[in-house]
Structure formats: C-alpha cells, structure tokens
Amino acid sequence: MHWILSWFDRLLHEREGRDFQLSGKWFLLSILLGMLVGISTVVFDLTISFISAVVLDGVVGAHLGETAGDYNRFRGWIDLGIPFHPVMFLLVITAGGLISGFLMERYAPEAIGSGMGLAIQAFHEKRGHLRWQTIWVKQITTAVTLGTGGSGGREGPIAQIGAALGAWLSQKLHLTTRDRRILLAAGIGAGVGAMFRAPLAGALFAAEILYREADFEAEVVVPAAMASIISYGVHSLFLPEAIRYTPLFGKELQFNFLTPFELIPYTLLAIALIVVGMLYTTLFARISKLFNQMRIPVTWRVGLGAFLSGLCAIGLLNSFQSWQQDLGSIGTGYGALQSVLTGKEQKTIGLLLAIVLGKILSSS
C-alpha cells in the first residue's frame, strides 16, 4: 500500500502531469477510495454479522430477521433453537454499551454518536481533516453495539468511516484543502452506496447531506459516484452469488405507477413521516442533552443508555406477547422492516406504532 500511495503522490504533484491532474486525477482517486471503502464495508459487515450470530443468536436466543439482501455466514454455526432469555439480553446489551463507551472515551471521543454530524463538521470547519483512529474505533464500537442488540443503524457509522478514509487518503497524498474536502464527501457516498446497495443514491446523498438548506455540492457528485460504484462492486463480490447485486430488501418490492391518483396516499405518508421525523429529532436532541449533562464518565453513560434500550425492547415484547422478530427496536430493525414490506407476517397497527416509538426512544 505504501508504494502505491507514493506513486500516486508523485503522479499528482509532477509538473509535467498537468494534463493528468485535470483529466485523470479524480478517476484514479475515486477508484482507490472506492476500493478502500468497499473493503472497509466488507469488514464492517462481517464484524457485525459475527458478533450478532455469536451473541444474539447463540447466547441470548434473539433470532432476529434479516433483509432479503443480507447474508450472515456465521449463523450456520449457531444452534437457533435456543429460547430467548430476557435477563441475559439485558446483561449482554449493557456489556456491549460499556465496551463501546470505553473504546470511544479512551481512543476516539469524536466517534460518539451517529457519526454523520462529525463528518459534516469536518467538511465545513476542519478543512476535511479526520483522525485515522476514527476508522477502527467506529468499526468496532458500531459492530459491538449492533451485535449485542443495541439500537442504531449502519448509515451514520459507515458514512463516518468512509469520510475518515477519504481524509486519511488525502493526507497521505498531500492534497489541497479543496481536494481533501471533496474526497471526504466522496468517502461518505461510497460508504452509504455500498452498504445500502444503492451507488447512485450514495453519490447524491453525499452531495446534499452537507448542507442544512436545499443546497447541493456539485463538485462532489462525479467523484462520489465513481467511488460509490467501485465500493459497491467490491462489497458485492464478497456476497453469495445468489444475492450478489441484489437490492437490500430484495427484488419483490417492485411497483408499477399506473395513475397520478396513486400519489395521494404517498403525499399523506410524506406528511406523516415529517411529523415522525420532527418527533424523532426533538426527542433525540433532548435525551442526548440529558445524558451529556450527567456527571458520570462516558463509558457509564453509554452503558446506562444500552440498559434502558434493553428494558424498552423487553417491555415491547411483554406488552404485545409477540415473537422477538417483531422487536424493531433491537439492532438495526431491518429484519422487522423486511417482513412488513413483503407482507410475510401480519402485524397490528398498534404493534407497528409501538415499534416506531420504541425505536425512537432506544436510538436516542
């Protein structure tokens, strides 16, 4: 890797290579970044799958569902007949929170939180700089959190990891501040595009997530698109052939648009989602502020949050007397979402609303 970076560095800064700098620079940079982020998403995915299979399936007995495009190669090693143990689940999720909190407090305090905010802050306020420790700390802490049943998603962490890889690569190649910021944003798109099997969406996401208003970072689109396509290809190569290049939620979710009147329920859905989104961001901010005001170390704060998330999940289970696959507040919740989207399991409106509230509270 060192000699490759040295060769790139010389190529990018040779005076005779001006034509290359104008035409081929972002092509090669995007390929290199896409490969790095793609490999990182594979490691990220494998780590989450391993911890989840060993801990949730093998110890706790919480056999959560998964999306049609997901594949846990470690689940075949585990006895899936183990019954669910609520007390063990509370112990495991709390231990996961304590481990994650210790690693973040000790090695990378900036890794606390979803990760998206830090990446955006680095783009605007830190001239595209992110510490390399962020990469491995975020990898491990997210895998431990999700693998032990903690509530969260993969979008924010992989965006922060991709951004950190973009910043690290730009520092190794001694790029300008402008190029470093573009590469950081391209890393965000590459991570999101690969993890969610949507490379074009990842590129557009990277260009628009950087601003609060309806603005767009046009310079980011092309590098982010190329890096996202490469990382998506690398990530897909490590999947079984049967689900390779398959959308995250499978090919069943294909809808034909027949009449403009179909837009009416989608409009109502959009309004409902706006309300829920405002509720989520408000509760998230207030609960985060409450925890930050606690005069206890970060490690214990994260552990307490994980314990309360576990209580919330068990409360849902006991309230609805449902199978633990219905507990969308555990882990990413993608398995519960898959069953709802494909209609494989009938769920009541009350249960779905309870999952929404539980997910908001446990994630906060």
Domain harbouring 213, CATH code: 1.10.3080.10
What CA–CA distance (Å, rounded) separates 121 from 129?
10
Q: Is residue 294 part of a domain?
A: no
pTM: 0.82
Q: Which amino acid is at 290?
A: L
Q: Is residue 327 part of a domain?
A: no
> Following CA atoms 251, 249, 205, 121 in sequence, which dihedral angle do they give, to the nearest 10 degrees?
-170
What CA–CA distance (Å, rounded) separates 117 from 322?
36
- Nearest alpha carbon to residue 310 among 152, 154, 98, 149: 149
CA separation, residue 359 to residues 301, 316, 327 (Å): 19, 11, 9
For 94, the domain range is 2-254
- Contact at 8 Å (CB) between 158 and 41? yes
Q: Is residue 289 part of a domain?
A: no
Q: Is residue 15 part of a domain?
A: yes
Q: Is residue 341 part of a domain?
A: no
Q: Which amino acid is at 124?
A: H
Q: Is residue 356 part of a domain?
A: no
Domain count, the chain: 1
Q: Is residue 358 part of a domain?
A: no
**Coil, helix or strand for 160?**
helix
The DSSP call for residue 154 is: S
Q: Which amino acid is at 214?
A: A
Per-residue pLDDT tens digits of the chain, which is 364 residues long: 555 656 555 655 554 445 445 557 788 888 999 999 999 999 988 888 888 888 887 777 777 777 777 777 777 777 666 777 888 888 888 898 899 888 888 887 776 766 666 777 777 776 667 777 777 787 888 888 888 887 777 887 888 888 889 888 888 888 888 888 888 889 989 999 988 888 888 888 888 777 665 566 678 888 889 999 999 999 988 888 888 888 877 777 777 777 888 888 889 989 998 998 888 888 888 888 888 788 888 888 888 888 888 888 887 777 766 554 555 567 677 777 777 777 666 666 777 777 777 777 777 6
Residue 112: count other Cβ atoms within 10 Å of its Cβ. 20
Q: Is residue 280 part of a domain?
A: no
